[in-house]
Amino acid sequence: MQMQGTEVSPGVGMGSIFLYAPRTVCLETVERCAADSAQQLEAYLDARQRAAAQLSALRDSLQGREAQAKIFEAHLELLEDEEMEGEIRDRIEDGTHAAWAVQEVFSFYSDLLAQTEDELIRQRAADLQDVKDRLLRILLQVEQPDLSHFSEPVILAARELSPSDTASLDTAHVAGIATEQGGTTSHMAVLARSLGIPAVLGIHGLTETVHHGEPAVLDAGASLLLTGALEELRPDYERRRAAFEVKARQTALFAQRPGSTADGVAVAIGANLGSDRAEDLTAALNAEFVGLFRSEFLYMQSDHLPTEEEQLAAYRRVLTAFVPRPVTVRTLDIGGDKELPYLPMDREENPFLGLRALRLCLARPDLFRTQLRALLRASCYGSLNIMFPMVSGLEEFRRARAMLEEVREELLREGCAVGDVGVGVMIETPSLALLADHVAAEADFASLGTNDLCQYLTAADRGNPAVTQYYQSFHPALFRLVGQVARSFTRAGKPLSVCGELASDPAAAPVLVGLGLRKLSMSSACAPAVKEALADKTLAQMEALADAVCNASTAGQAQALAQG
């Protein structure tokens, strides 16, 4: 049997299937009304206490695995949320069974979060579900299979893994993970990648098809799960697994080396950051600069507009961690596919073409000024660059820069210290890319946001699965445009980097260098493979490759050339 899904973590895993079917907690047999509310309240408080004890024990057992421990820390916070607890108590006091009260209150909030298009916020909905299930299992005494101890290698097959399942996995024995659901940024995918466990998501009908205990091979590179009579295939997969591991070890050697072509031309490799969590900062410490700090996480994690002081603390933390290396903070990029539950916005027919990012900030100067004040106050703690996203013409850049200057004057009048700050722009709209000579004359630096640039250039919504085939990141038109921007910046002697996903693709990175780029910024996990790819070719080879890619007639041809 051969089943196809989507790879989220590469490699080859072999073992027997562990079919994980967590028992769903069903309230159908529980009466919603309860006669004795005092007893129900006691049951709820007891369950809450036991859930807290379980979560603390799980957190403490994960010392040295910060990211996973954080999941349980977050669950403890949700469990102890006073507003939800108050609502649950009110319902119980009105005669509702404790299990129903928990079910209704947690579901209300998780449904609210699950409706947003933003994957990070949806992830919070999964956390709420997870805490709810834990409480219900305790209240209704439902046992759960244990994923924390296996005695032999297993391929874990599940409909979906909750954040708790993921964090408590016996990672020494889980040789692969296959699920029906889950996203590329789910806890499961992130954990699998960080631990090097091969993982494939989105396998339709998986849990109805595989059998517990049968032998299986997870070939993540081919996005395949194979089960059944595998004896003939086994030696081949053993060889591929060994080769993959050797290759992964070789690639890992590049983590601490500086980026360079085979003939010694330096290419600075930077980090993209989407949080100020200690483990993310630590993972990025080999980076020569932070090319993109996505400040919107501060807004998305919060239930209110983050105050100046809250923002200052986060920017200061990141700047201090990287000093003296420069950190480029992108101002708020909300709108498009990202919404804030506490910031109502008018519905738009085409949100990606709407009041997004800098456009929203210019329309809401109150909100923008708070961020600019926090950034300028933080500038004394390191080397700060401020970058404006989603700019389609120079007027917007000038308005934003003028506001920044006003805020600087205001702070100086108040007696606040303000450091020197580079002011730049993301080039992610075709209109701005085509004006790169003017941008290079006015801005201190720029960074190419190829994720959006590709979407606006190909007129294909980056989040719409129906048009994925048209969203072609190897489109020769995109490389031509990038080359044109690079030439303008080289002529002007101004720094230009790429912080879109293209920079982190080992096939595309040499093309970008061939086009003139000398700074690439990416998520830290991708840096070793990119450095390895750069070390494999001379600059002249990359320039010839870039020429060929720009002269290709289709994205398919360009990609084939780049992949060699």
The reply to whether 499 sits near ligand PEP by the rule CB under 6 A is yes
Q: Which is nearer to ligand PEP, 133 or 505 (CB)?
A: 505
Site for ligand PEP in 100-119 (CB under 6 A): none
Token pair for residue 45?
């408080």
Phi and psi, residue 445, nearest 5°? -165, 170
For the bound state, the minimum distance from the C-beta of residue 499 to ligand PEP, rounded and expressed in Å, comes to: 5
d(CA 298, CA 274): 9
Question: Do residues 391 and 425 make contact, with C-beta atoms less than 8 angstroms apart?
Answer: yes
Token pair for residue 333?
């990029």
The reply to whether 294 sits near ligand PEP by the rule CB under 6 A is yes
Give the three-state DSSP class for 300.
helix
Binding map of ligand PEP across residues 222-261, x = CB under 6 A, - = no contact: ----------------------------------------
Residue 166 interacts with, from ligand PEP, Mg ion, none (CB under 5-8 Å by kind): none
Token pair for residue 502?
């293209």
Site for ligand PEP in 523-562 (CB under 6 A): none
For the bound state, the minimum distance from the C-beta of residue 295 to Mg ion, rounded and expressed in Å, comes to: 13
**Catalytic residue of the set 75, 97, 187, 475:** 187
d(CA 240, CA 219): 9
d(CA 42, CA 98): 9
The reply to whether 505 sits near ligand PEP by the rule CB under 6 A is no
Phi and psi, residue 247, nearest 5°? -60, -45
Q: Which is nearer to Mg ion, 294 or 537 (CB)?
A: 294
**Which residue's Cβ has the minimum distance to Mg ion?**
452
For the bound state, the minimum distance from the C-beta of residue 441 to ligand PEP, rounded and expressed in Å, comes to: 23
CA dist 66 → 16, 71, 80, 207, 276 (Å): 29, 9, 21, 31, 14
Residue where the block lists tokens 């909100």: 367
The reply to whether 428 sits near ligand PEP by the rule CB under 6 A is yes
Question: Do residues 498 and 328 make contact, with C-beta atoms less than 8 angstroms apart?
Answer: no
Among 280, 288, 396, 452, which residue interacts with Mg ion (rule: CB under 5 A)? 452
Angle between helices 66-79 and 187-195 (to 10 degrees): 160
Token pair for residue 241?
């697994």
Question: Do residues 451 and 441 make contact, with C-beta atoms less than 8 angstroms apart?
Answer: no
Q: Which is nearer to Mg ion, 375 or 426 (CB)?
A: 426
Q: Which is nearer to ligand PEP, 268 or 539 (CB)?
A: 268
Whether the upstream peptide bond of residue 324 has omega within 30° of 0, thus cis, is yes
Among 5, 15, 351, 449, which residue interacts with ligand PEP (rule: CB under 6 A)? 449
Question: Do residues 510 and 533 make contact, with C-beta atoms less than 8 angstroms apart?
Answer: yes
Q: Which is nearer to Mg ion, 496 or 533 (CB)?
A: 496
The reply to whether 461 sits near Mg ion by the rule CB under 5 A is no
**Catalytic residue of the set 361, 454, 499, 550:** 499
33 given a catalytic annotation:
no
Binding map of ligand PEP across residues 333-352, x = CB under 6 A, - = no contact: x-------------------
For the bound state, the minimum distance from the C-beta of residue 500 to ligand PEP, rounded and expressed in Å, comes to: 3
Write the DSSP assignment of 9-32 as a string of letters.
E-SEEEEEEEEE-PPPP--TTS-S
Which region, judged by CB under 6 A, interacts with ligand PEP, from 231-239, 429-437, 444-452, 545-553? 444-452
CA dist 406 → 36, 142, 368, 382 (Å): 63, 60, 12, 22
Q: Which is nearer to ligand PEP, 134 or 294 (CB)?
A: 294
Q: Which residues are catalytic?
A: 187, 499
List contacts with ligand PEP (CB under 6 A). 292, 294, 333, 428, 449-452, 499-500
